[in-house]
Chain A
């Protein structure tokens, strides 16, 4: 059975650091970066990218539409048992 893998890309300049995505993430992937963008906001990034399932919760809750969500079904190699 293939595993669902996801990833997000945050538009760091658009992110306003509201942290709603951190709260919305069911697999606890997102954290806020220590660095700030040109507006002075801490922006979101993937702390645990391996846990992301691409559920889109962060993208849906983001008021500024700063998050693009990717999802792919990982095909298991047939040699593995």
Chain B
């Protein structure tokens, strides 16, 4: 069997989802943002809810997310995406509303909005991309930078005695009664991407139940900010980031998952 016989329309098993626009992604080569964008769009395509989804774009590397996702989107002020999402969801309770935020947006400037939105139990989905650094502005130290990690403002590594500890915001909000589903995933290997997609799918389907916030953290690489190649960055992520931010479900169906039992 030659290649011409294999490469035929009817044999396609995987293709770029048409819900992503034709625009070239503005992200660096190998960036997890592109993978996560695609996962969200694939979930929306599979659920057939393209016309019922409203997304909120953040400020940060993914500020142009509305250019790449072929759905209705709004750009929120820095960190205020959960507040904007609250307004939209309360106006249109029947729509699927999600925010897409990075760690600088969600865990730094928008900590207050995030925590209060989760505490109010708004029926939205929050996708949180955590790469441990302020990627867009040049790799400065973020609240999620792990101890010892080098960044442009912590060139000798994060010293917790002086700079404090990384913010485990996902653990923090899992404790709030307003959250219904809290999960942490990563996108560094094909297996983890498949798992992350399942978590995002669950987070969107939970909106039908009207039980509270569904929160998915996606631990991602930032190879430009970490000064590594994409392949090295994913290895570093697996060895260091995932040790501090262990992947798995933290809260399922409103019940906290016991430590060590995470899948």
Q: Is A68 an interface residue (CB 8 A)?
A: yes
Q: Is A31 an interface residue (CB 8 A)?
A: no
In the complex, chain A residues whose CB is within 8 Å of the CB of B28: 16
| Binding stretch for chain A, among B11-19, B71-79, B125-133 | B11-19
Docked complex Cα distance between A59 and B13 (Å): 10
Interface of B is mostly: mixed
Q: How far is the CB of B185 from chain A (nearest CB, A)?
A: 14
Q: Is B44 an interface residue (CB 8 A)?
A: no
- A residues 44-79 touching B (CB-CB < 8 Å): 49, 54, 56-57, 59-72, 74
B14 and A63 within 8 A (CB): no
Which residue of A56, A59, A63, A72 contacts B5 across the interface (Cβ within 8 Å)? A72
Interface footprint category on B: 35 or more
B16 and A65 within 8 A (CB): yes
B1 and A74 within 8 A (CB): yes
Q: Is A19 an interface residue (CB 8 A)?
A: yes
Q: Mark B residues whose CB is within 8 Å of A.
A: 1, 3, 5-8, 11-17, 20, 24-25, 27-35, 38, 189-190, 193-194, 223, 229-231, 234
The 7 tightest CB contacts between A and B, nearest first, are: A63-B34, A18-B30, A65-B16, A16-B29, A18-B29, A59-B14, A69-B14
List 15 additional contacts besides A5-B6, A63-B27; criterion CB under 8 Å: A7-B3, A16-B30, A18-B223, A19-B231, A20-B230, A20-B231, A24-B190, A63-B30, A63-B38, A64-B24, A69-B12, A69-B13, A69-B15, A72-B5, A74-B1
